[in-house]
């Protein structure tokens, strides 16, 4: 028994070492924008990502756009982020959450995988006391699988999720399970696969029918802080806050949405 336990601990340690080395090796892979200056300060958060994968905030205007929306509308947007196998936030997902809070989306929370079960409970509570709440659920890497599972589990309860975001979901395939019927919009941001799933040789995420798909030329650990990722997510939060209609909580089973009928969004696949 002791040998098995020791073997499992060694395997976990080895996986984490490989993860950290790979993330650090790609830390400088994102070239700076020529002539751009970083006017936005980096959020103050703990974790490796703040050092090796800082957010690209140099040419974004999200703060100005968010400032034009009344705070009470932004307070109706509840943004939940679930991290992947990244205990020290090497990809800087907590930095992205902190930035979203800094531009007015104060109801933003970031969770590690072991505590992801709390997200469903939080959403259920919000739906009970805020009839105008707009729920945005994001999963990064293996956290995308957890976000998908939460959405599917809540479908049975008739709980509506306004937007489901997959970021770097290497093992998110184009199946009915990836398109929960209780989700208003799916934003699917993919990139090069992670090293431990064979990079682009085997798994790097599918384009999902009926979703807003955006594939970025960036490595798996740099996608969270990439400017296009922040732009897509930020504009979706702004869109949710701008909407004055209350979310519908009663789910009616319907066929999957026709991609042609979806509203045009930044980065949508034709």
> For residues 210 and 258, is the Cβ–Cβ distance under 8 A?
yes
Q: Which of 4-8, 167-171, 174-178 has the lowest mean pLDDT?
A: 4-8
Among the listed ranges 8-22, 40-54, 137-151, 168-182, which one has the minimum average pLDDT value? 8-22
Spatial contact of 186 and 179, defined as CB atoms under 8 Å apart: yes
pLDDT per position as a tens digit, 61-102: 889 999 999 999 999 999 999 999 999 999 999 999 999 999
Q: 165, 138 in Cβ contact below 8 A?
A: yes
Sign of the alpha-carbon torsion through 62, 64, 70, 71: positive
CA angle at residue 188 from 122 to 78, to 5 degrees? 25
Average pLDDT for 242-248: 60
Long-range contacts formed by 9-16: CB under 8 A, 24+ apart: 15/85, 15/196, 16/87
Residue 195: enclosing H or E segment and its boundaries?
none
Instruction: Give the pLDDT of residue 200.
Output: 58
Cα separation of 198 and 200, whole Å?
6
Domains defined along the chain, listed by start: 48-251 (3.40.50.1820)
Q: Using pLDDT thresholds of 50, 70 and 90, give the confidence band for residue 258.
A: very low
Q: Is the pLDDT of residue 223 over 60?
A: yes
């Amino acid at each position: 028994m002791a040998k098995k336990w020791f073997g499992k601990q060694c395997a976990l340690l080895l996986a984490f070492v490989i993860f950290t080395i790979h993330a650090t090796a790609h830390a400088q892979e994102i070239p700076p924008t020529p002539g751009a200056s970083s006017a936005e300060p980096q959020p103050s958060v703990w974790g490796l990502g703040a050092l090796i994968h800082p957010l690209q905030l140099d040419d974004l205007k999200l703060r100005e756009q968010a400032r034009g929306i009344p705070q009470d509308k932004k307070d109706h947007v509840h943004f939940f982020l679930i991290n992947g196998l990244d205990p020290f936030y090497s990809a800087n997902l907590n930095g992205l959450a902190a930035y979203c809070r800094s531009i007015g989306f104060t109801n933003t929370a970031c969770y590690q995988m072991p505590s992801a079960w709390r997200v469903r409970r939080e959403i259920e509570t919000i739906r009970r006391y805020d009839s105008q709440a707009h729920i945005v659920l994001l999963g990064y890497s293996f956290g995308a699988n957890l976000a998908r599972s939460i959405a599917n589990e809540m479908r049975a309860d008739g709980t509506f999720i306004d937007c489901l975001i997959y970021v770097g979901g290497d093992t998110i395939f184009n199946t009915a399970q990836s398109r929960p019927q209780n989700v208003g919009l799916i934003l699917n941001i993919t990139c090069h696969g992670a090293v431990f799933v064979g990079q682009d040789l085997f798994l790097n995420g599918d384009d999902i029918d009926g979703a807003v798909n955006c594939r970025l030329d960036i490595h798996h650990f740099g996608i969270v802080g990439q400017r296009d990722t922040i732009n897509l997510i930020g504009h979706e939060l702004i869109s949710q806050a701008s909407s004055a209609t209350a979310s519908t909580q009663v789910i009616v089973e319907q066929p999957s949405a026709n991609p042609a009928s979806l509203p045009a969004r930044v980065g949508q696949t034709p």
